[in-house]
Structures are given as structure tokens and as C-alpha cells.
Structure 1
Amino acid sequence: MIKNALLTMTRFHPYHGQNIRLLHDNMVAYRETSFAHALTFSEKPLRPGEIFLVEIEKNERGWSGHMRIGLTQFNPADHFELPQYALPDLHNMGKSWIFAVTKSHNKVMLNEEGDTDNGDEPYQSVIDVGSRIGIMYKVNGDTAEMRFIINGEDQGPCARYIPYQGGNLHAVVDVYGTTKQVRIIQLYGVSTLQNACRDRILQLTSEDDLNKLPLPKKLKQFLRYELVQEGEDVSPARKEKIVEERTCMKCEKKAVLVTRVNDAFCKECFMVYVTHKFRAAIGKSKLIRDGESVLVGVSGGQASSCLLHLIQEGLSGRAHKKLRFKPGLVFIDEGATIGMSAEERLANCTQVLEIMEKTGFPCYLKALEQAMELEREAVTNTADQTDTASMTSVEDLTKLHRYDKAEEELRALMDSLKSVSAKEDLIKSLRHKILIDLALKKGYSKVMLGDCSTRLAVRLLTDIAQGRGAHVAMDTAFADNRCNDITIVRPIRDFSSKEVAMFNILNNVPSVFIPRITTKVYSVSIEHLTERFVTGLQAEYPSTTSNIMRTGEKLHTEKKSSSENQCAICQAPLDTDVPSSSALSAVRFSETVSRCSSVTLSIFSTDTACDGGGDKTCQSEGQKESECCGRGDGSCQSKESKLTRDEVESALCYACRLLIKDLGDVSKLPKHILDDISQRQRRTKMKSEIEDFLLDPSNTPD
């Protein structure tokens, strides 16, 4: 029992689930997004008789299930791999005793003979804001029993025969489902004669005999650790039980989930609803033809796992009408961006590959650092038989991480970018470049991504904040055709993140959690802040994401006919061809003034890397500084030419110019980007040299 005169402050342990944010000196746990990955632990192990008490401060409508609480012998200081949920995941790991908080609760558990102690008695709703739920354990010989306390009333033992001597017991709270935020209630007490008497009585009396003792009711409650204050009624009137039975909006059966406020579904109708939305998105677009090869991007996350399962079901014999395209799967390992070790990256790839192999579809693995060595032009419809990215077994995974030089270049590039927003943006561009390159080499005409409506709504607002307002139509549309040979499609863009999560839970769809550059980093990137903003609004106003998406569908981006009118990094149409009196010109002028020390400025300089007369940035091996190679198309083909920052920025859209703003050396950009810009500069130079000899189409007679 508690011997100290004053209990120390109780806090949450700093190691917690990825969606949890600790506030107020680690005494408040707030779930920022989703409904999973929200495990929290007590900072210190509990002592026998010590009550760990939390109060529900915020709820979030629209989810199913509520907070879970219990005890575990896993030490959070060991930083063991956290599961998504306390029930059943943490419970199935062993050494954990978890209890689900429900709207109605039996005060007593079954005894050893299987009978209830006092009968079933519905309890008042305990999931409302202000409810206090506590957990404690009491020692009985070599084992212990866990007791559950709701709003000051002991609910009786909810777990017996806990081997407490096998390790310290930490309290565990899963801020799950409708429960959004909980606060630890500090319990202070003074060791008194009453406490000493209680300790002695409990040592000599069993739980079953306690109720038989001829003692006043109030004293019995004190012995059972019920939180009764002086002058308070020991038997408060109970609230009438509120039954919220929902029926399926389609078949009137009992509903198992609610997607939106008034959209309740049973499992069968929900599956039909999701499958129909997926097939309708593919069918009404008429972009994917029968027998067409489609490359599916798999990240291991919830959305891509949902997409993969829908494709697999659509191609199975169980489907009423089978899908007709031929899928291939690809996973891109981004571990190099966060400094993962080779062993950690190999373990992640192994988990994802095992999931992909079970589908029977062709599987490919790529490393993000391979983008640093891509050629400027991919070989169209030509299978590369020596490509180490084509994996057929786990043993072949060791071939994936043999890009030491490219990995060093990628890390140097990421370290050069100061903001996390710029790093996220660059990673997305490199990832898309790898997808397009692999699709061209392997003969795929479409790339299918698992972007849901919640993710696309966040991206739409993020693009506007980052200066990509002209490109949001491409980034959020069902079909993105910025690349001439490959079309990117998003068949689950009408799914919300909640629908994706519910679908995966009901179908036991496996997923793999892989840390990203923003994992456990709060309020550091524009996209991360936007996600918190959108999901917060979505919790209170369920139509938030759909309204954002409908607004985005009204926008349109004009596709440029020439690749030279596209951004060299993101392949979006250039939005920098504006009049001299535009805001962009004013920004460029301001930046030039801040960089230049002299008064004479040339802010619209079009100097090229080679002018045929000997530019200082063009010099091949064995040549004098004033000579130019003049090979190939008549322009400089030197591999030693170095692009200036102005030349690089001339081939980038406004947002990508901001991306490389803090990049000290533009030569750190991937090779295919620099080669593309160099060719544009050479063609521009050559065109200016022969411009007087070209016919003007406007003056050509009919």
C-alpha cells in the first residue's frame, strides 16, 4: 500500500504512440489524428494500491469504440515496438491486461465458478467529457488483481492472477476511438490511522469475505478504495442509461460503424459501398483499358494497403465482375532520408515484400537514392533484365541497398535543405520520378496511387500555401497526365481516411508502419500543420474534406505542349512566364538586390553555360579554358559544365524555386534534373544563334 506521506506528481512517459502529443508537463495526452497509434504509459511503475486516474477532456465524434486502460509489464523506457492498438495487439503480446471502456459496464466480473458476483447492472455513460477512469492493482499472495474505478466507484476486479513479481506494472492508456484527450488527475493523500487499519484488514481478509463483514457501507467502500469525499453521498443517483442503437441505412440491420454523422452501415453493406465507389471511379473515367498494365505504388500504409486489397479482390474469382487490368506492385524505400541503418531498412522492405508477394503480382523494390542516378530519359517499353529492383525473394533484398554513393549524395542534398517542408516536397518529387521511370522501363502505361480524399484535401491546401496554386488541379485530380507517356490515377480519392481505416479493420488488411521524415516531429512542416488543421475541422464538421475536394475540382491547369515548358523537378507546367510588373518579378528583384552588393543589377540575365566562345563554366578535359567542345547538336556537350543558380531557376516553377532557395550548391540536385536543365540551356543558346535564319510561321503564305 501507499506508504509515502505525499504522492509524487504522476505523468505520462515520453515514449508513446506516433499520433499522441503530450501537453502540460506530460500530464495531458492528446491524439492529433486518426484513431490508432495512440498508446501512452505511466512515467513510473505503479505501486500496490496506487490509483492511476485519468479524466476525459475531449471527445471526437464519428469513430467507433472508446478509451482502453490497463496494466502492462512492458517497460516504455525500453522503447519496444509499439502496436497500433492496446486491444487486441498489445494484449496479444502478453504481459498486458487491458480493459475497454464502454457506454455500459458490468460492475462485477465472473467469479471462478463462472457466476456473477452481484448480477449485471448497467452503469451510467462513462465516455462523456468529465468522466474519470482509474486503474490499480491489489496484491493477493504471489499474484495480484487489477481493479477498475469509474467516477469514484470500484467496479470490482477485472483481471486476476497477475504475476506482479515478474516485472513492474505500468499503467497503459490507449486514447482510442471517440476519446480525443485525457488528463491525469493527481491524487494526494496523507498516511493516517485509517489507512494503516485498512492495510492491516486487507492483509487478513479476502475480497469475498469483505462484503460479509458487519461493517457500515461507507467503511466497506473505504476498504475497497472507492473515492468518497467527506460530506458526499456514498450512493449517488445514477443517470438513466442512454441507448444509441443505430441501424444500417441500407438494410436496417444493426450497424457496426458510422462513416459520417448519419451514415451508419452494417459490415456487408459497407463492403458493397466501398467496392462500388472503387469500381465506379475506375469505370466512369474509362482511362484503364482491358489488359492494360498498371503499376501500383505500395507504401505499406493504410491507404495503399486498402487499395491493394481492393485490387486483389477485384481480380479474384469471387468478384461479380472482374477487373481487367494487369497490376504490378512497387515499394520505394525512403529510409536514407532519415538516416536508417541498413538492417532497419532491410527489415521494413522484408515486411512490405511479404505482403506484396502474397498477391501473386509482379513486385519491384526501389530505393529513393536511386533517383540521384537516373538518366534524363528512360527507355520506353524496354524491360531491364539486369535491374536489381525486380525482387522475387527476400534474399534478393540485399541487392537493393548497393547505392552507397547515391545514398551519400541524397543525404547531403537533404541536409542542405533547411526546412522540413522543402524536404517533404523534394522527396515527393523524387518518388514520382522513380515511379515514372520504372513504369517506362517495365512497360506500364498507368501508375495507380492510394491517395484518399483526406490526404488530397491536405495536399490541396498545402500546395496553395507553398506556391503551387497553379498545379493543385493536377495534384488532386483522378488522373494526372503531366507526363506524356504515363498517367497517374487515384482510384480511392473519394475515400476518407476514416473509411480506409474501417475497411482495413473489418477485413484484417495488414499494413506496415514505416517512419517518415515527419514522424514524431510536431509543427515543423506546412503539410503537417495543414493536416492537423483539416483533421481537426473534419472531426467537428464531417463535410470539410468533401467541400475542399469539390472546390479543387473546379480548378484547371493548362498542360504545356513542350517538355521545356515544364518544371525540371516536379514536371508541372511552368508558372513563371509573367509580365515584368507582376508580383513574381517584384520578388525576384527583391531577392537579387539582397544578393548583390553593387548597384548595377541584371535581374533577367539569360547567360548560358556555354556560348561557343569560351564560357568559364564550360571546359572539357584536355581543352583550354577558352575552347568549347561543340559536339553533338552543335552545342556544348561537356560533362564538366556547371550550371549557375539563375540557369537552374529558369527551368523551375515558382514553388520549386522556393524549394532550392536554401540550397547552397545547386550541383547537389539529382543528375537527371541537372542534365535536363543543361540540355534546355544548350537548345536555348542554339536557337538564339540561328534565330535570324528561321522562318516566322506568321509570315508564311497560305
Structure 2
Amino acid sequence: MCSLEEPVLLAPPKPTHKTCTKCKTASAVVILRHSPFCQPCFEFLFVGKYRTVINRSKPIQSKLRIGKVLLAVSGGHSSLAMLELTAGFTFAAPEQKKKIHTFGSVSVCHIDESSLFEGSESTIPRISEMMESKYSIFPYHCEKLEDVFDPEYTESQSFSEVLEVVSKDLRPGQQGMNLCCFMAEISAQLRDIHQSKLTNAEKLKALFQHIGKNSAREDIYWHLKMNMLYRRAQKEKCDFIFLGESSTRQAIKMISMTSKGRGYSAALDVGSDNTITYQNMTIIRPMKDMLAKEIAVYNRNHNIDGFVIPTTNWSTKATSKSSIERLTEEFITGLDRDFPSTVSTVSRTASKLTVSNDLDVGNKCAICLMPIQRDITGWRDRITVMTLDKDRKESSKKDESNISDAGECCGGSENANCCSTTSTKTCCSSTQSIPFLNFLCYSCQVDARDYKAGQFDLPPYAAEVIKSKGRDERLRQQVEEFLLSDDDD
């Protein structure tokens, strides 16, 4: 029989003092993925992740102790932690006899972006002070983002032409416009770099002012920085470029890039080793297994957080819907709070991606320098809806009356094929121009749809790629009749 005075059973209170999960003896100082760790065990695990990436990298092991490294240091938490870890793998004290010198030499590159954002102070003095006081063993180079318009940041290091882009204020479905005319909205031509009276900083601001959405701004902003890092690594004759992208950032990039149509080159953008994008250069991401929280704790333990430069970009203090990447960041970090394995699952899945078998390394995008998928322009044309259903019939009638069976455009035989992607003339114009979109990958073509009406310049490196590809295409056409097809017996 039940007793009325039987005590109520309650769950015992959770202990406030937690013990390290690894050593089982020391008190925990940090909780990661619901697991408590003491500081020595946390340091061992954190450095071990960096060591694992370095030891498993075949390009690094092939040039052990002789490879030259360029560290991309933006001043954020992840890049500063990477700098601290790399310093430990570069030099060893005399008593550390078992420690191996992993790298031959290491240099640091920082790119100042303050000219893009009004009211921002230059970050070069803070980086210079940190390098001279804490990392004086490393040579460092501070560049300004507007310097990307200098001829030295090209493949030949002397190309003195820019790409002048002209975008018209037209939209699909207006005035019965067909696809070929819409392609002619954005035209470009090569122009000598000295013809413009604008400074490099003014050219850079004009470029981003003519881009309507933050997602497209963030993309080209990243591509310009990567080109500058690559050119600096070329000058220093480096074998590797180290990027401080954490596991959290990798997961965000993977989802956002897929949303932007960059899935074809995703394996190159998020892989730990990228030996394809740049000739004789390997992109290494040694921080790819570390969470953003782990990096912040490591910086605090090593007194590095005082050197951190706060990030300033178009998403700073903006809502989560300001750009695709910002929205993805809100989604991933929010999901990771309740499900701690979210970031690691996405990033590890992304690291398993491999490049396509039909990847053409020689056919690169003029802006991002990533390989272009074959026949991407034709595929985009087939899936693009240019008019609404109710306007399709009227638009098709207008197109039939304006385009003859011979492929004439604008209703006149003298302008035949003026909107063709292979033509060197823009629609209804006799001025020489370049089919700009044909030299871009799918993602950059999507970004180009956000260009505002007006005229602006793209850096010389983009102009050099287009001019080089145009020259190669002309040579191919000259010898095309002498080439053997794969179908020939």
C-alpha cells in the first residue's frame, strides 16, 4: 500500500564544476560541442588539427623544409591564429630536438580594404605594429586593394590595358527584347590604362558603385583579393598560399556558393589543397577543421585577440537578408547552436568533393580565374525565361517580324548577326566591342546581371585574360581545318 509521506524523487542538480573529458583530472575551461576541456588538452587538440592538415598535404610533404609559404593575413581571428600556429612550425628552439622545420620560408601579405568603405581607417599601421613587435621573424607585405588596377598585378606584370564595361538599363521582357539583345546589354572593350584620369581608388569605388546587390559585390571583392594574393606569391616565388578559412566559414561558403551557381568549381573553393586554379601554386586551408569558437578561445589564451581587426564590409550591422552569404551565415550558426555537429558535417562533406573529369584548366573566367564549364552560355540561354507567359505570344510575333530566316537582327540585312555572341559588334552599333559574358563562368554571369547602368573599368588582369583567350581563339580558327576530330578514323 502506498504511503502518503513517501518523498518525491527529483533529478539531482547538475554539477557546476566540470572535469575535462580528455584527461579526466583537470578542471574544464571551455566547452566545445557540449564537451568540456581543460586548457592543456584544448591546446593539444587545436594544434593537432593544424598538424594533421599539414602532414596529410601531399604538396607540402613533397617540398618539406624547402617550400615557400605566403600567409594571407586579414587581421581577423582565424588568420591571426594561423599566423601563430605557422610560427611554431617554422622555427624550433635548440632544446626542441624532435621538432621538424616544416617550411623553408614564410612571408605575410595583408590587403588594406579601407578605401572601399567611408570612414574606415587604414589597417596597415596596426598590422605593421603587430608584425614588428610579435612576428619580426617573418617578412611582411602590405598592399592596398585599389592597387589591383596597377599593371604589375597581371600575369605578364606589365599589361597596361583595362576592360571598360558598359551596361545598359534594360531588363528582360521590356520592349519585346529577345535573348540575343539582352546579351548585348553588357558590352566591353579594351582601353589603355592611362586614358582615364581617375585614381586607382576612384576606379575601385566606381566599380563597386555600379554593382547593385551585396551578393555580387562580395563575390568580386573576394576575386580581386585572391588575384592580388596570387600575384604577390608569384613575386615572392612562393609555392603555397595559406588561407585562414575556418570550418565554420567553409560550411557557410559551401552553401552560399551552391546558391550562387558556383557548384562547378566548389571543390576548388573549399578543398584543403587546390593545385588547379593557379599555375605552379597551391592553395592550402590549414584551419579548415577548426570551429570559429575554438579559434577565438585559442587567440584569447595566447593574447592574440588584442591584435584582431574588426571586419568591415557591406554586411556589417546589416540584416540577415542583406546578401546570400549573410543569410547563409545566420542559418548555419543558428542551426549549430542546437545541433553542434552541423558545421563539421557540412565542411567534411564539402572536403570530399572532387573536380569534374571534363574540367578545362585552360578555359578560365576573366574575373574569378576559375575554370568555365563547357557550353555554359548555351545552357543558360535554354533555361532562361525572358518574357512572361502572357507576353510570350506578342514577343514572339515581334521577334519573327524583326528576325529573318538568315539570322538577321534589328530588322535589317546590313546588321545581320549583330547580336550574335561570336560577333565583334554590339547591337545597332558599329563600335568595336567584346562579348563580355562569353568570357565569364556561370556564377560571374549571374553577378553581371546586377550591374547598374553606366560605365566602369575592370582591372587589367581581367583584360589580359580576355585578350589572351581572344588571341588563342583566332589562332585556333586559322588552323581549324587542319585539325583532326576525335570522331575521325
Query: 1: CA distance between counterparts of 2:381 and 2:457?
Result: 25
- 1:303–1:497 contact (8 Å) kept in structure 2: yes
Cross-structure match for 1:324: 102
Corresponding position of 1:683: 472
Could you tell me which residue of structure 2 aligns to residue 408 of structure 1? 202
Q: What residue number does 2:43 align with?
A: 271
Conserved in 2, the CA contact under 8 Å of 1:307 and 1:450? yes
2:449 is matched with which residue?
A: 661
Tell me how many residue pairs correspond in the alignment: 404
Alpha-carbon distance, 1:691 to partner: 2.3
Q: Deviations 1:553-578 (Å, cap 9, x if unpaired)?
A: 33222377755412111122212515
The aligned counterpart of 1:648 is 436
More helix by share: 2
- Do the aligned residues in 1 keep the contact of 2:54 with 2:286 (CA within 8 Å)? yes
Give, in angstroms, the shift of residue 648 of structure 1: 1.2
Q: Which runs of 5+ in 2 are unaligned?
A: 1-10, 159-196, 404-408, 410-416
Question: Cα RMSD between the aligned structures?
Answer: 3.1
SS across alignment from 1:447: strand
Alignment partners' CA distance in 1, 2:316 and 2:90: 34
Instruction: Name the residue aligned to 2:29.
Output: 256
Partner residue in 1 for 2:144: 367
Please point out which of 65, 76, 85 is paired with 1:310: 85
Q: Which residue of 1 aligns with 2:332?
A: 534
Q: CA offsets per residue over residues 104-163 of structure 1, 9 Å max, x none?
A: xxxxxxxxxxxxxxxxxxxxxxxxxxxxxxxxxxxxxxxxxxxxxxxxxxxxxxxxxxxx
Distance 1:366 1:373 in 2: 12
Paired AA for residue 657 in structure 1: Q
The one-letter amino acid paired with 1:333 is: D
Letter in 2 for 1:654: Y
Secondary structure (helix, strand or coil) at the match of 2:59 reads coil
2:421 corresponding residue in structure 1: 605
Match of 1:464 among 254, 258, 263: 258
| 2:32 partner amino acid | T
CA-to-aligned-CA distance 1:257-315 (integer Å, 9 cap, x gap):
11111x32111111111111101110111322222110000011100011011111223
Whether the aligned pair in 2 keeps the contact of 1:315 and 1:324 (CA below 8 Å) is yes
CA contact (8 A) 2:153 2:228 kept: no
Quick check: 521-530 or 309-318, which moved more?
A: 309-318
Tell me how far apart the structure 2 counterparts of residues 361 and 514 of structure 1 sit (CA, whole Å). 24
Q: Rate the CA distance shift 1:503–1:559 in 2: closer, same or farther, 3 A.
A: farther
Q: Provide closer, same or farther for how the CA distance between residues 511 and 404 of structure 1 changes in structure 2, counting only shifts above 3 A.
A: farther
Indicate conservation of the 8 Å contact 1:462/1:527, yes or no: yes
Q: Are the aligned partners of 1:378 and 1:441 in contact in 2 as well (CA < 8 Å)?
A: no
Question: Which residue of structure 1 lines up, in the alignment, with residue 363 of structure 2?
Answer: 565
TM-superposed CA distance for 1:425, in Å, is 0.5
User: TM-score normalized by structure 1?
Assistant: 0.53
Per the TM alignment, residue 324 of structure 1 is displaced from its structure 2 partner at its CA by: 2.3
**Equivalence map 1:272-311=2 (5 Å):** 272-288=44-60, 289=63, 290-311=65-86
1:648-671 C-alpha deviation (Å, 9 max, x unpaired): 111111110111213235752222
Q: In 2, are the aligned partners of 1:375 and 1:672 still within 8 Å (CA)? A: no
Describe the SS at the equivalent of 1:659.
helix
How far is the alpha carbon of 1:423 from its aligned partner?
A: 0.6
Q: Does structure 1 conserve the Cα–Cα contact (< 8 Å) formed by 2:360 and 2:371?
A: no
d(CA) in 2 for partners of 1:665, 1:563:
33
- Residues 337 and 517, structure 1, Cα contact 8 Å, conserved in 2: no
Task: Give the secondary structure class of the aligned counterpart of 2:199.
Answer: helix
Matching residue of 1:555? 353
- Is 1:674 matched up with 2:463? yes
Aligned to 1:506: 301
Q: Percent identity?
A: 29
Report what 2:219 is aligned to: 425
Query: Which of residues 587, 592, 596 is equivalent to 2:384?
Result: 587
Q: How far, CA to CA, are the matches of 1:256 and 1:696 in structure 2?
A: 68
Could you tell me whether the CA contact under 8 Å between 2:359 and 2:373 is conserved in 1? Answer: no
Q: TM-score, normalised by structure 2?
A: 0.75
Partners of 1:575 and 1:375 lie apart in 2 by 29
Report the structure number with the largest CA radius of gyration.
Answer: 1
* TM superposition shift of 1:371: 1.3
Alignment of 1:355 with 2:171, yes or no, is no
- C-alpha displacement at 1:484, in angstroms? 1.8
- Distance, in Å, in 1 between the alignment partners of 2:129 and 2:430 is 53
**CA shift in 2, pair 1:501/1:561, >3 Å:** same
> Residues of 1 paired with 2:360 and 2:154: CA distance?
15
Shift of 1:608: 3.1
Whether 1:486 aligns to 2:261 is: no
Matched residues in 1 for 2:47 and 2:240: separation?
Answer: 21
Distance 2:293 2:148 in 1: 33
Q: Assess, with a 3 A threshold, how the Cα gap between structure 1 residues 649 and 583 changes in structure 2: closer, same or farther.
A: closer
| Contact 2:69–2:242 (8 Å) recurs in 1 | yes
Give distance in 2, aligned partners of 1:650 and 1:700.
Answer: 29
Deviation string 1:386-434 (CA, Å, 9 cap, x unpaired) is xxxxxxxxxxxxxxxxx97111111000000010111100000000000
Relative to 1, partners in 2 of residues 1:423 and 1:505: Cα closer, same or farther, differing over 3 Å? same
Per the TM alignment, residue 673 of structure 1 is displaced from its structure 2 partner at its CA by 0.5
Shift of 1:512: 2.0
The amino acid across from 2:326 in the alignment is H
Task: Work out the CA distance in 2 between the residues paired with 1:666 and 1:565.
Answer: 26
Letter aligned with residue 529 of structure 1: L
* Bigger shift: residues 302-311 or 243-252: 243-252
Q: Do 1:608 and 1:682's aligned partners in 2 also have CA atoms closer than 8 Å?
A: no
Question: Structure 1 unaligned runs (5+)?
Answer: 1-238, 383-402, 619-641
Question: Is 1:648–1:666's contact at 8 Å kept on the other side of the alignment?
Answer: no
Instruction: Provide, for residues 427-449 of structure 1, a one-character-per-residue CA deviation record: whole Å limited to 9, x for no partner.
Output: 00000000001111111111001
Mapped partners of 1:587, 1:306: distance in 2: 45
Instruction: State the Cα deviation string for residues 589-616 of structure 1 (Å, max 9, x = none).
Output: 669x99x985436675311369xxxx94
- From 444, 460, 467, the counterpart of 2:238: 444
- Checking the alignment, whether the CA contact within 8 Å between 2:71 and 2:242 is kept in structure 1 is yes
> Distance between the aligned counterparts of 1:560 and 1:336, measured in 2?
40
Say whether 1:336 aligns with 2:131: no
Instruction: Spell out the pairing of 1:196-275 with structure 2 (5 A cutoff).
Output: 242-252=14-24, 253-261=26-34, 263-275=35-47
The alpha-carbon distance between structure 1 residues 375 and 661, as it changes in their structure 2 partners (threshold 3 A), is: farther
Distance 2:153 2:139 in 1: 26
Please give the alpha-carbon distance, in whole angstroms, between the structure 1 residues aligned to 2:280 and 2:359.
13
Kept after mapping to 2: 8 A contact 1:576/1:584: no
1:583 positional shift: 5.6
CA distance in 2, matches of 1:404, 1:354: 32
Q: What SS does the aligned partner of 1:258 have?
A: strand
Note closer, same or farther for the CA distance 1:526–1:695 as it changes in structure 2 (3 Å cut): closer
Partners in 2 of 1:695 and 1:575 — Cα distance? Answer: 23
**Distance in 1 of aligned mates of 2:421 and 2:309:** 50
Letter in 1 for 2:30: L
SS in 1 for 2:212: coil
